[in-house]
Structures are given as structure tokens and as C-alpha cells.
A and B are shown apart, each in its own frame.
Chain A
């Protein structure tokens, strides 16, 4: 009979209308991120980093701009670690390239900003703020 399929379809939608909901009330409610989730800012461990710049060399999009200074003992120090999220593909190649495991994602997925400039940040500065904040 013509129209039988339509009624069956409506039954499906009505079933869901009274069924359990599939969505969450974002932003009040947030879904947990997985362990391997790639996204957000890069968290640099200044203690581990030796300033070799391998991470920046492995970046396919030149999203990383690092400045390294040498002190009197010929030891390298990372003075700034500028990451431009606008250029970043979240490909993970920088993190995988680091032999000292000095990088990881902070897993914050709310990285949209009003201004383009806000997409650029310095990971060394953020590391400092984190440390000062914890003390």
C-alpha cells in the first residue's frame, strides 16, 4: 500500500523522540578526550628539551619558530618556542620527532579565537606560567 513506508519511517522518528538522547549539553557538559588525542597547545618540558630544533625541522608546514641561545658553558637554552596554530595540521610529526619526549599536547580542543594573532603563542612562556602557577 502506498504510504506504508512513510508511516514506518515516522514510527522510527517517534521512537527516538521518546527514547534516550544521543547528545550532550555542550559547553556545560563535555566529552572526555582520549589518551592519544592530538590538539590544543604544545606543552614543552623545558627541563628535558636540549634545543636541538629537530621538532621544527620535521614540521611540514613551518608552524614552529624556535630561538635557541648558547650560554658560556656551550649549553643550549630554548628562549622562545613560537607555535602558530593557524599553520598547524596537528599531524603529530614534531612530537614524534623529539628524541627526549619534551613535547606533548595539552589536549584543549577549544582553540578557536576571535583574532588571528591569538593563534600564535610561545610554549616556553606557557611552561614558565605553568611552573609559576604551580609554585
Chain B
């Protein structure tokens, strides 16, 4: 009688559908997945340690390299934590500019999600559409700060340069384009039957499981939790803004995709309000060149594109942080991969991986 054995397949670290250098050890029984173990560490640069030997201002460009697809949100998280530690008031105008940039970055990051998801599902064309639109946002960043991905624009105390009229006007043009853009995505992907079949009802994370894994961001919202730091903490000016939190029902791949589409709409709504109510005034607080926060520690969390991003900083009174710890959402969300893949077929592992949307720069830190 023929016997069968379990088979271990290494996906990655060099694999076209693992975004970045992640290795997944998939245990297979025929075509069915028995377990999927993520192996990380290929992109570890020791950013937390590097920060200990840099001044507070010098640390900010390193946060760009965590989640390099939404660097503005990373800058914001770190800067707000230092501001909390040193008791710095950020001017109103800077807060508005920060919010615009962060939300634009959220949209750009969701473009990467949509693009890579469609690519992983076998539609390379889809990727081009999402990246075409992401390019529009990167061009906006190029105008405001001179960089497209690693922005280093939000600084301790505000932003480094004022938003020009050109930037504000082009942002408005982009916001006006968003409904048309989403309509095209709907016609191209959302209505596509193959796309739906591959995603609906696959890799379900129940409400309880999402909490158990400590997930955050769009992934936990897709499972039905109304959990968004922007609403809970109301940091910056988010308390003044009117926006909704899209929440999913089943927590399958499809919900995780739809949530992101809806978040783009909400982000556009936030940017529109910021553009309309933007006050005049300074864009940077008075921050000493040699910043020495008092002895103590501070934790600040922001809603990054991928979830709850937290910075814990301990100061010993010198100009360099004594210890920095970063709570990276991708790292924690990735723990659910095994659970999501179990019982699925191999091709679904790729979809599951794409909808968790982890970013290796952030996972490895």
C-alpha cells in the first residue's frame, strides 16, 4: 500500500509573492497546508539599538526605515513620543499638515496592499493600476519634502518645512480623483468573480482569535472590532475631525480587502476637512538644537497603516535616548499566519499573507 508523508516547503526568503525577505516554512499534506511557520530576521538592522547612540533628532530618519511604505506615520509616532517626553507643544498648523501627510501615506500604503494582493492572485495588471495611483501621492511627498518614500518630513516639534500652495492644491486635486479611482478598482477587481471566489470565506479570523493574537489595524477591524487608535486616543487633531471606522463582519480575506477600500474613502474625508480648516501660523515649535528631555519615560501610540504603532522611550536626561522600544504592528499581526493557513490549499497561503499586509522592515526592525 502506498504511504504518504508530510512535506515541508520553504517559501522565501526569495520568493515573488512574499513581499520582502520573509521565509515561510509550509508543512504540506498533498496540496493542503498543515502548518505555516514564518521565519524572520533577514532584514534585522537593530534599529532600536542604533537609536541609543544617536541624538533624538538623528533618530527620526531611522523610523522611516521601519515601515518604509508609510514612513510619515512612523515619523509621527516617534516625534509624538519625544514631544510627550520633553513637553513640547506642536503648533496648530503643523498638526494639520501632519495629519494630511499621514492620511495620504495611509492611502499610498493601501495602494501597495491592493497592488500586491492582485499581483499575488495572478493579476499583474492590477498591480500597475494601484501603483499608478500611488505614484500621484509619492509625487506630492516629493513636492513637500523632497523625498518619496523615506520622507523624514515630520520632525520633533512640527514639520521641517511649510506646505506650499502647490502641494495643497495638488492634494485637493488628488482627493477629487479618489472616487473615480475607487470606481475603477471596483470595476477591475472588486466585481471580478475569480477575485471574489479566491477571497470570500478563506482564511477566516474570528473576532475572538483576532483579539487573542493581539492584532490591530485594518486586520482586527475586518474581524469585527471597532478598534482604531485615532478614535480611542484622539491624538493630534483627530478629535476634531469627523470620520468613521469601517468594520468588517466575518474576518475573511475579502473583508480585509474591502476594509482597506473603505479606509481610503475615510482618509480622503479627513484630508478634505484638514484642507478646509487649515489655520495659518508657524509650522515648527521652538525646539533646542541639543534636545535633552528630562529623566523619565514615555509611551505613545499612533494608528499606523498596519495597526497600532507604539514607541516607548526612556530618557536618562542626556541628548540620546537610553532605550527605545518599538511596538510594531506587522510583527504581531504576522503571528496569525499559521492560523490563517491551516486547512487551506497552498495557493491560499499567498492570499493570506497578502491580506495580513506585513512589511518586513517593520517585522524585523
Interface residue ranges, A against B (CB under 8 Å): 2-6, 8-9, 11-13, 22, 33-34, 36-39, 58, 60, 89-93, 96, 105
Contact = CB atoms under 8 A, between A and B. Distances in A.
Interface string B123-157: 00100000010000000001111110010100000
Contact of B132 (A6, A22, A34): A22
B58 interface: yes
B188 A9 contact: yes
B187 interface: yes
A12 B184 contact: yes
A90 B147 contact: yes
Contact of A93 (B57, B144, B161): B57
B191 A37 contact: no
Contacts of A3: 193
Which of B125, B189, B193 is the most central at the interface, judged by chain A CB atoms within 10 Å of its CB? B193
A94 to B, nearest CB: 11
B150 to A, nearest CB: 7
B120 to A, nearest CB: 17
Contacts of A2: 193
B58 A60 contact: yes
B125 A13 contact: yes
A32 B271 CA distance: 26
Given A9-B192, A22-B132, A96 B160 contact: yes
- The size bracket of the interface on B is 20 to 34
Contacts of B146: 34, 36-39, 92, 105
Given A36-B146, A58-B57, 5 more contacts: A9-B192, A12-B188, A38-B145, A90-B150, A91-B152
A9 B189 CA distance: 7
Contacts of B143: 34, 36
* 4 smallest beta-carbon distances between A and B, as pairs: A5-B191, A36-B146, A60-B58, A91-B61
B194 A6 contact: yes
A6 B152 contact: no
Contacts of A6: 192-194
B147 A38 contact: yes
B155 to A, nearest CB: 9
Nearest to A1: B193
Contacts of B195: 5
A8 to B, nearest CB: 5
A3 B194 CA distance: 9
Nearest to B152: A91
A13 to B, nearest CB: 6
B187 A37 contact: no
Contacts of A11: 187
A37 B58 CA distance: 20
Nearest to A90: B147
B193 A5 contact: yes
B54 interface: yes
24 contacts: A5-B191, A5-B192, A6-B194, A8-B187, A9-B192, A12-B184, A12-B188, A13-B188, A22-B132, A33-B142, A34-B146, A36-B142, A38-B147, A58-B58, A60-B58, A60-B59, A89-B61, A90-B147, A90-B150, A91-B60, A91-B61, A91-B150, A92-B152, A93-B57
B78 interface: no
A88 to B, nearest CB: 10
B191 A8 contact: yes
B61 A60 contact: yes
B187 A12 contact: yes
A81 B161 CA distance: 27
B142 A34 contact: yes
Which of A9, A91, A92 is the most central at the interface, judged by chain B CB atoms within 10 Å of its CB? A9
Contacts of A93: 57-58, 61
A3 B65 CA distance: 43
B311 interface: no
A103 B255 CA distance: 50
A92 B155 CA distance: 12
A34 B147 CA distance: 10
B62 interface: yes
A36 B187 contact: no
